[in-house]
Amino acid sequence: MKNLFDQIVNGKEKISLVGLGYVGMPIAVAFAKKVEVIGFDLNKAKIEQYKSGVDPTKEVGDKAIQETTVEFTSNPEDLKKAKFHIVAVPTPVNEDHTPDLTPVESASKTVGQNLVKGSIVVFESTVYPGVTEDICIPILEKESGLKCGEDFKVGYSPERINPGDKIHRLETIVKIVSGMDEESLDTIAKVYELVVEAGVHRASCIKVAEAAKVIENSQRDINIAFMNELSIIFHKMGIDTKEVLEAAGTKWNFLKFYPGLVGGHCIGVDPYYLTHKAEQLGYHSQVILAGRRINDDMGKEVANSAIKLLIQNKKSVSNAKIGIFGFTFKENCPDTRNTKVIDIVNELNEYGLEPVVFDPEADADEARRIYGVEFANESDMNELDIVIIAVNHSQFAKKDNQYWLDKVNNPKIIMDLKGMLDKNEIEANDASYWRL
């Protein structure tokens, strides 16, 4: 293991990426510019797309996939050709908000079954402190028959890739790295330094690195929850939240967070990993879980506000045609997993309403499979009683105010969740305008 870095750089050993989603695939492509890479995913259909030069994630684009030297495979035995494994699989939560470690356990099993002596396994999946050493290592040892610390070593380097973000990429974000000992830490740090131009931060141990990742997103979650709570309060006061935040933001130390739907598989999930571990240790989280409750209820808040607006504008609720623009968990990203827009849809369903949903960016097959939602065409998004702009895709941002005004019947109601449009111009057209 001592010379593993040199062997990787000289092309004598390979790196493997286990899990080729929004995080794993960009990492594989980045490393392949420097060294030999095996990209493994159980999803054969996804592997075939990559092999045919298609990037379903839109993270690096078709051209980069067509030009990359990554050896894409769905055959686990190909992992035996690599000695440095990076595991980047999702870590979701169950219906009861407890951590679902099935993907990372399954990946550990697969890697373990194909692990060779002298290897290093690095986990990137977001977990609570202790998962790598207490759960993953025993699986690797059991499946491989090898001894951790003697035959192979383990590290942890949390992913910080921001799906859909073309500025904050793997190369430009400082990478936290950790290892089970000094030797593994040094090798892991050097390997990541091959592609991370911003450099690495060497954490003192694996648990510190795991904790650092899980609190990054918990901090954002709490701050956004505060903004969402302010939004609820200010709506009751008849005050525009965005205007309040713009005024407050003129102070040098005011933190510029904004209200919104908090979905995805990071900010909306990671806090539950931390609070779950805290519960096991006998501590019931107060601040973190309070923030989660607020954020989890924002879809219902939006739907209920839509009903109030229909009533205030003397429109029939029972026959209302509601158009929702955007369904993904964030803008300019096809990923619909753990989107909070579905909460708006479900709450409207409770009122007996079936909103029409249009999203030119979203993975339509995924939305159909996970949520049973069929997307409408843009041509169907006309003669609406209310417009809800749920996601600020660039395609939507390019539309002028008149585009949105033309979509809705009189009296016009536009709900612009993130405040993308010009409020004054919309209201100058005798439209009711609402934003978080």
CB atoms within 10 A of CB 380: 14
Residue type, 216: E
Burial class of residue 371 (count of CB atoms within 10 Å of its CB; 0-12, 13-18, 19+): middle
Q: Which residue has the tokens 């009189």?
A: 410
Angle (deg, nearest 10), helices 341-350 and 298-312: 50
What kind and span of H or E run contains 389? strand 386-389
The yes-or-no answer on residue 266 being catalytic is yes
Q: Which of the following is catalytic: 136, 148, 205, 266?
A: 266
SS3 424: helix
Longest CA–CA span in the chain (Å) reads: 74
End-to-end CA distance of the chain: 53
Give CA separation, 339 vs 95, 100, 114, 357, in Å: 14, 17, 35, 13
The single residue listed with the structure tokens 């903004």 is 227
Within 135-255, residue ranges assigned H as helices are 137-144, 182-193, 206-237, 241-248
Distance, CA of 388 to CA of 322 (rounded, Å): 8
Cβ atoms of residues 57 and 81 within 8 Å: no
Phi, psi (deg, nearest 5) at residue 50 = -60, -45
Q: Which two tokens stand for residue 228?
A: 């969402």
Distance CA 357, CA 319 (A): 16
At 218, the amino acid letter reads S
- Cβ neighbours for 21, distance < 8 A, ≥ 6 positions apart: 41, 57, 88, 89, 90
SS3 content of the chain, % helix, strand, coil (to 5): 45, 15, 45
Can the peptide bond before residue 259 be classed as cis, meaning omega within 30 degrees of 0? no
Sheet holding 432-434, edge to edge: 356-358, 322-325, 386-389, 413-416, 432-434
Residues belonging to the active site: 266
